Amino acid sequence: MNVSELLFSFLPAFFLLQEQVAQIDNSSSSLLYLILRSSPIAKAVLLILLLFSIASWAIIFTKARATKLAERRTAEFMRSFESSSRWAELMASVSSFSGSPLAAILLAANGELQKQSRLNIDAVGRVMQSAAIGETTRLEKSLSLLASTASASPFIGLFGTVVGIIIAFNGLSQSTTASIQAVAPGIADALVATAAGIAAAIPAVLGYNHYLNRIRILAAEMDGFSLRLLNFIEREAAENYGIQQQQRPQRAHADRLG
């Protein structure tokens, strides 16, 4: 079910509340009463803001779990990386850090190395950069909805407020007495939409900035790890080349003796 279908499924309940609110004491000034007696357009606006708020909180909790896991696994992986001196040791332990973006970079580098018959360090660097971009994109997934909620919710609430004020002044023009007491309830109803828009926007903008900053830190760690891994690959390749150079005279001497 998409958002529009979910919205229209809730509208009949709001219209029913609109009919029942007439039975409530007019002297009531609670927030619930203000919401119930608001216009159908205001109720639709509040419902949209409610859906945005629910989606935002769901993303916030999901990102909290995902970034915490990535940070913990990354710290564990870096300790393992720093204690490893050979490529085989790294590959033997990488399966234990599946939640770390650094492990994905290592696996991408290893895949590229397996395809090469001769070491091409530039190609390995490009593959690692591509893997880092992919991991950053994965971590940033759904953050755009937080940004959209933060920027759009106040204006959606303002739209509901403007419509409510128009309805309130229209009722005032048809009233026999023109006073602030006659228009105040309608304006109070309308301002609820603005308050709801701000309430939906504040957690979204705080969550967006917070998790974007944490993802940027992880992205910086990925860039630093990529450079260190390139050095690791070059160092091991140089050591293997030196061993091969030392073995060649020994093989030649053995062949002469044979």
Confidence (pTM)? 0.74
Q: Report the distance separating Cα 211 and Cα 4, nearest Å.
A: 28
Residue-wise burial string across 38-59, b where 16 or more C-beta atoms lie within 10 A, e elsewhere: bbeebbbbbbbbebbbebbeeb
Contacts (Cβ under 8 Å, ≥6 apart) of 155:
197
Contacts (Cβ under 8 Å, ≥6 apart) of 116:
123, 124
CA 6-21-178 angle, to 5 degrees, is: 115
Q: Report the distance separating Cα 164 and Cα 11, nearest Å.
A: 18
Phi and psi torsions of 29, nearest 5°: -130, 20
Contacts (Cβ under 8 Å, ≥6 apart) of 100:
70, 73, 74, 76, 77
SS3 for 181-224 is HHHHHHHHHHHHHHHHHHHHHHHHHHHHHHHHHHHHHHHHHHHH
Quickly count: other Cβ atoms within 10 Å of residue 94's Cβ: 19
SS3 for 5-33 is HHHHHHHHHHHHHHHHHHHCCCCCCCHHH
pLDDT computed for residue 25 by the predictor: 46
Q: Report the distance separating Cα 114 and Cα 107, nearest Å.
A: 10
pLDDT computed for residue 174 by the predictor: 62
**Which segments of the chain have a pLDDT < 50?**
1-4, 6-7, 10, 13-18, 20-28, 242-243, 245-247, 249-250, 252-254, 256-257
pLDDT computed for residue 30 by the predictor: 67
pLDDT digits (tens, 9 = 90+) for 156-177: 999 888 888 887 777 666 665 6
pLDDT computed for residue 180 by the predictor: 59
